[in-house]
Chain A
Amino acid sequence: MYLLRLALASLANRRFTALLTVFAIALSVTLLLAVERVRTEARASFASTISGTDLIVGARSGSVNLLLYSVFRIGNATNNIRWDSFEHFAQHRQVKWAIPISLGDSHRGYRVMGTSAAYFEHYRYGRGQPLEIAQGRQFEQDPFEVVLGAEVAETLGYGLGEEIVLAHGVATVSLVKHDDKPFKVVGILKRTGTPVDRTLHISLAGMEALHVDWQNGVPARGAGKVSAEQARHMDLQPKAITAFMLGLNSKIATFAVQREINDYRGEPLLAILPGVALQELWGLMGTAEKALLVVSWFVVLTGLIGMLTAILTSLNERRREMAILRSVGARPWHIAGLLVLEAFALTLAGVLLGLALLYLGIALAQGYVQVQYGLYLPLAVPSRYEWALLGAILGAALLIGSVPAWRAYRQSLADGLSIRL
């Protein structure tokens, strides 16, 4: 179409302003898409952190708090629960499997979790995917064996056979180390993209062995000390754990079991449905996420207004161009069409450049984001929703382009064929 050729030639003549405009739009498009993609992926990875677990049980506190420390390894439990409470519900006739969780120690900023073999068997994430061992095996008889999450192994550069020392407490710099009882790496899990990657798994016996000689929250000294070798021969049955996860025989029983746990006479317990708690937690973060999206829409709007300003400013200088076009036969609607096309072309170029920047950014940052935030940003073609966003931007450009188009239309009717000098 000839009008398009004219619009592009005229834009090329003003290439500096045009390029700046395209660049501003491109950056805003990149920002919008990046926010959208991170948002979608964050939500997806968030929702797929845990699956298959029907109930999570811990000491009575808030459901979000329980979810945070038991699944996300954030924050701490307010209290422990007794081992017999766990046993009581593990043997419940509705319960298919139970995973005990014992928390409280760490290694160089990564949380250590004491658990049983049931964890490797029953824990599910994503769409029901089980945990898989990438190297080695899961911990067995010896209490001083540790299985590493993928990120722990990768970031700290640990391989099988490595001896590591766990620290008491969860601070990054810990003052009290369990350096008398080193653990040996026997297995490394495959990457899951969930907090499992950032966890060191030991057996409950190992967890017990670490603290077997502790009194009132401080390590024993001198004669009271128990060596690793001595600990191996002691009774390492834990008396308390932090929380446990339950899988039920039938989903229908979930609420009944939950009520039963919450009403348990033995000690105050709280049972939560992970899906509900996840939603609750996401609802808390949703505000920030929506704010981010609103901000990026405003950035897009700013980009488009920048374009409007650039085109409107150019109109006055281009009265002659319009008059010449009128004198060679362009109708006023041609003039208007020229400006709409111009706005559309600028925005289209901006959108395409924005997409290119997005993919370049993802390609460059993918590894870093995965390692730092456990978020996998796929280099996928735009989703239907993203196409709709881009379409909305182009639609907005047409709408905005009609403003200078209308002005030029009026102007060209008034100016006619000649511009008085």
Chain B
Amino acid sequence: MNAPLIELHELGFAWPGQDELLDIPAFRLEAGETLFLKGPSGSGKTTLLSLLGGVQKPGRGSIRLLGTDLGALSASARDHFRVDHTGYIFQQFNLLPFLSVRENVELPCHFSRLRAQRARQRHGSVDKAAASLLAHLGLKEELLTRRADSLSIGQQQRVAAARALIGQPELVIADEPTSALDADAREAFLRLLFAECREAGASLLFVSHDQSLAPLFDRSLSLAELNRASRPVEA
């Protein structure tokens, strides 16, 4: 069996002067796996994503991404590592409103040589990679040159997905990407996202409080179960 994509071991983290917020003995995400992580607000979800993104360093224990111990890297090396191997989709307003749709999608390739290189290898050029991803996600070509904020929310989230996937990062982290979409759009968006992740061979870590989406994923976990430090959360 291949090495896991993410492996947490005895991870502990506390904000300065506060009680330990995260205490995760073990967690794994396999390569190519899609995982639904249920995380109500206040459960330490955002902090966990910061740790996985290398923005914060764990207080104790280790985070391994593709076998690399993030805690052992410098802040700048973690930044590099993140953009090389991880794509992000957030809740909404993911895009830089003043850039065109195409430029938004190409953003990671300007900051990661590895992803620009992969995009070129696969599609010939970064431009073509962006156009092809957007086409797969059902966005018409005439939208490419439009300003990002002229698109509907649903379209914007698909642009964000294309941006997360360009240059084939091994991991896509989605944080409540569908909360601003209505139920039909939500499922449609997820299906497109799954298809593209599969095509790119990326794992998907999907964090949401909306349990109804869980059955669509390979596996489903609750952060509250995972995290020994979690306190009872107010409903």
A: residues with CB less than 8 A from B are 2, 6, 9-10, 12-13, 320-321, 324-332, 334, 416-418, 420-421
B96 touches A417 (CB 8 A): no
Q: Mark B78-111, 1 if CB is under 8 A from A, else 0.
A: 0110110000101101111111000100011011
Set of chain B residues within 8 Å of A417, measured between Cβ atoms:
49-50, 53, 55, 88, 90
14 residue pairs from A and B, CB less than 8 Å apart: A6-B99, A10-B96, A13-B97, A324-B96, A330-B111, A332-B79, A334-B111, A417-B50, A417-B53, A417-B55, A417-B90, A418-B46, A418-B90, A420-B46
Chain A positions within 8 Å of B83 at CB level: 328-329
Return chain B residues, CB-CB under 8 Å to A326: 55
A330–B98 alpha-carbon span in the complex (Å): 17
Chain A hits for B90, CB < 8 A: 327, 417-418
Asked whether A331 lies within 8 Å of B53 as measured between CB atoms, the reply is: no
Q: Which residues of B contact A12 (CB under 8 A)?
A: 98
Q: Which of B50, B91, B99, B163 contacts A416 (CB 8 A)?
A: B50
Most interface-central of B53, B108, B110 (chain A CB within 10 A) = B110
Complex Cα distance, B76 from A76, in Å, reads 78
Contact with A along B37-70 (1 / 0, CB 8 A): 0000000001001100101100000000000000
B118 to chain A, nearest CB (A): 14
Least Cβ distance of B12 to chain A in Å? 19
B156 to chain A, nearest CB (A): 12
In the complex, what's the smallest C-beta–C-beta distance from A70 to chain B, in angstroms? 67
Q: Give chain A residues whose Cβ lies under 8 Å from the Cβ of B46.
A: 418, 420
User: Which B residues have a C-beta under 8 Å from some C-beta of A?
Assistant: 46, 49-50, 53, 55-56, 76, 79-80, 82-83, 88, 90-91, 93-99, 103, 107-108, 110-112, 163, 175
Instruction: Kindly report which residue of chain A lies nearest to residue B82, judged by CB atoms.
Output: A329
> How far, in whole Å, are A2 and B50 apart by their CA atoms in the complex?
26
Q: A327-B88, A328-B83 are in contact. Are A416 and B111 (CB under 8 A)?
A: no
* B49 cross-chain contacts in A, Cβ below 8 A: 417-418
The distance in angstroms between the C-alpha atoms of A92 and B82, with both chains bound, is: 94
**4 cross-chain pairs, A with B, having the tightest CB-CB distances, nearest first:** A329-B83, A329-B111, A13-B98, A416-B55
With A329-B82, A416-B50, A416-B53 given, is the CB distance from A2 to B110 under 8 Å?
Answer: yes
Residue of B nearest to A11 (CB): B98
Among residues of A, the one whose C-beta sits closest to the C-beta of B163 is A328
The answer to whether B175 touches A321 (Cβ under 8 A) is no
Q: Which chain B residues border A328 with CB–CB below 8 Å?
A: 83, 88, 107-108, 111, 163
* Complex Cα gap A2–B79 (Å): 18
A329 neighbours in B (Cβ, 8 Å): 79-80, 82-83, 107-108, 110-112
Q: Which residues of B contact A418 (CB under 8 A)?
A: 46, 49, 90, 175
What is the bound-complex CA distance between A334 and B108, given in angstroms?
13
Query: Please, which residue of chain A has its CB at the minimum distance from the CB of B111?
Result: A329
Residue of B with least CB distance to A12: B98
Residues of B within 8 A of A421 (CB): 91
For the complex with contacts A6-B96, A324-B96, A328-B163, 15 further pairs of A-B residues with Cβ separation under 8 Å are: A2-B110, A6-B99, A9-B98, A9-B103, A10-B98, A12-B98, A328-B108, A329-B80, A329-B107, A329-B112, A331-B76, A332-B79, A334-B111, A416-B55, A417-B53
A9 to B50, CA, bound (A): 28
Q: How far is the CB of B133 from chain A (nearest CB, A)?
A: 14
Measured between beta carbons, the chain A residues less than 8 angstroms from B55 are 326, 416-417
Question: Residue among B91, B103, B107 with the most chain A CB within 10 A?
Answer: B107
CB distance from B57 to the nearest CB of A (A): 12
- In the complex, what's the smallest C-beta–C-beta distance from A371 to chain B, in angstroms? 50
Residue with the greatest number of chain B CB neighbours at <10 A, chosen from A9, A324, A416, A421: A324
**Across the two chains, which residue of chain B brings its CB closest to A320?**
B93
Does B99 lie within 8 Å of A9, measured CB to CB?
A: yes
Closest approach, in angstroms, between the C-beta of A123 and any C-beta of chain B? 66
Chain A hits for B175, CB < 8 A: 418
Give the distance to chain B from A263, nearest Cβ to Cβ, in Å.
81
Task: Give the docked Cα–Cα distance between A327 and B55 (Å).
Answer: 10
Which residues of chain A come closer than 8 Å to B103, judged between CB atoms?
A: 9
In the assembled complex, which residues on chain A have CB atoms less than 8 Å from the CB atom of B79? 329, 331-332
Q: Are A324 and B53 in contact (CB under 8 A)?
A: no
Chain A residues near B112: list those with CB within 8 A: 329
Q: A331: which B residues are within 8 A, CB to CB?
A: 76, 79, 111
Among A13, A325, A416, A417, residue most surrounded by chain B Cβ atoms (within 10 Å) = A417
A334-B111, A417-B55, A417-B88 known; A324+B94 contact, CB < 8 A: yes
- Chain B residues, CB < 8 A from A332: 79
Which residues on the A side are within 8 Å of B99 (C-beta)? 6, 9
